Amino acid sequence: MLMGIRLQAHPNSGQKLILSQWMGCARFIWNAKCEEDRYLSTFAKKYMPIGVYAPIDQKFSQYKDGVLSPWLSDCPSQILRNSVSNWFQTYKAFLKGECGKPKRKPKTDAGSIHLTNELFRFETCDDGVTRLFVGTKTNNIGYLSLKNHGPYQPPKSIHIKRRLGQYFVSFCYEDPVDDTSLATGHDHLEYLRGASLEFLNQHTVGIDRGIVRPVQAGAEVFDLTPEQKRSKTRTARYLKRLQRRLARQKKGSNRRRKIKGKIGRAHLKMANIRRDFCHKASHAIVSNPNHKVIILEDLKTKNMTKAPKPKQTESGHWEKNGASAKAGLNRQILDQGWHQFETFLKYKSFRAGKALFKVSPHMTSQECAACSHTHPGNRQSQASFVCGACGHTDHADRNAAEVIKKRAIVLILDSGSELSSRGVLLDSGRGATVKTRRASARRARGSEASKKRGEAAPAA
């Protein structure tokens, strides 16, 4: 199974300087190819017959000049070649319609180089620590200090990246777990159809994602640690202060650039806290031996965090639409990292051979887990749930997790249900008939209308 990993590197000041130069050279070559393509395609458009296009190639030796760009010779030519090669691959993907045209890269503090296996080697030194040797025999930066936080296989190629003053080594490697032997969602569903209700009740866990309680898995609550919460509020306050300072500063000034860096690092800190939580919560859920079937709500975070539509009265006067309140809610939703949590849970459960399904999130917060009575009045406050029909009382999030679990069990045992490409359990039996009936009605109406139009046309 192909796995990706990112390790933080700690280059010394000399290594930092050389890496920065190499990143600059790689960017220079990339930009030169972009410019070349722009020039040649303009020329072809103007002066060549239709159907003749500008040639695209991977040549870059014309940019290595002893007078104009002597510094390019200080960089290992393999790095330049990899940069051109990546540009060429991107261009080919663009021609296939898979992505945009390769664009010029601006000069920022973010940079990267792509190293193929002749430019690096992982070596276990005498003290037992694995270090990364970067460069060729004659042109190298020596051993790069790495933070090895997990086991990995030596890769074929690596990227060294710089973001906000931090250096990272990232790569993909082939993991010993064979992913062709692992069960897919359909296999799991097929298998679980034959399971008993008791088994499913015992081994299924419903997960409700919320704002006050980020993740509620069955009766278990996953939340940030108090230290992380404090750190987040502190950073949020700090960010606000920085934003105010940024607003007062002159554009293009050095101080503004510095503040921008600080803002970036503060955001990075928040993102790190979020990612840490998502990894830990998803790991705990998947490694629990009682959880064999994991159920999520099919939340569409992108749709949920849209800005509200503008409101206008008939006279054309614009009314308040609660945009700023919604913006606050959106920030809170996005701050939970719901989608990141889902992504982590997906790959971890797949590796562990556990089933992960999603169900429709419709009314999960208003439905009673005991008697399925659905009413907005059931939700008395943010936290408390009291059923108006049977008097069932619970924490609202725990009730929702229970509802999600029940919903999934019903769908798993129902032979008519299907698994969509998004991994959502669908009650296809009933859904399909409703759709056909509606569709056929529309078709009937449409044909009648066209018949009428057909009759009316000759008369007119």
144 vs 368 by CB, closer to Zn ion:
368
**Shortest CB 413 distance to Zn ion, Å:** 22
Give which of 351, 371, 359, 370 is closest to 422, Cα–Cα.
Answer: 359
**Shortest CB 408 distance to Zn ion, Å:** 19
Give which of 174, 160, 31 is closest to 103, Cα–Cα.
Answer: 31
**Shortest CB 367 distance to Zn ion, Å:** 9
CA-to-CA dists, residue 7 to 89, 126, 171, angstroms: 26, 21, 9
93 vs 386 by CB, closer to Zn ion:
386
Task: Supply the Cα-derived Rg of the chain in whole angstroms.
Answer: 29
36 vs 367 by CB, closer to Zn ion:
367
**Shortest CB 370 distance to Zn ion, Å:** 5
195 vs 370 by CB, closer to Zn ion:
370
3 vs 386 by CB, closer to Zn ion:
386
**Shortest CB 364 distance to Zn ion, Å:** 14
Interstrand relation of 215-217 and 111-116 (parallel, antiparallel or unpaired): unpaired
CA 257 – CA 251 distance, rounded (Å): 9
**Shortest CB 245 distance to Zn ion, Å:** 53
CA 15 – CA 422 distance, rounded (Å): 45
CA 121 centroid distance within chain? 30
DSSP H stretches of helix in 177-336: 185-193, 197-203, 226-248, 254-287, 301-304, 323-335
329 vs 389 by CB, closer to Zn ion:
389
Q: Tokens for 150?
A: 């997990």
203 vs 373 by CB, closer to Zn ion:
373
**Shortest CB 377 distance to Zn ion, Å:** 12
**Shortest CB 386 distance to Zn ion, Å:** 9
24 vs 388 by CB, closer to Zn ion:
388
**Shortest CB 368 distance to Zn ion, Å:** 3
CA 130 centroid distance within chain? 30
119 vs 368 by CB, closer to Zn ion:
368
Give the SS3 label for residue 345: helix
Letter for the amino acid at 363?
M
Give the SS3 label for residue 362: coil
Give which of 361, 319, 322 is closest to 342, Cα–Cα.
Answer: 361
**Shortest CB 376 distance to Zn ion, Å:** 14
DSSP state of 316: S
383 vs 389 by CB, closer to Zn ion:
389
DSSP string, 97-120: TSSPPP-PPP-SS-EEEEEETTSE
For tokens 């906000």, what's the residue?
Answer: 164
DSSP string, 137-168: SSSEEEEEPB---S--PPPSEEEEEEETTEEE
Give which of 292, 299, 298 is closest to 183, Cα–Cα.
Answer: 292
Give the binding site for Zn ion (CB under 5 A): 368, 370-371, 373, 387, 389-390, 392
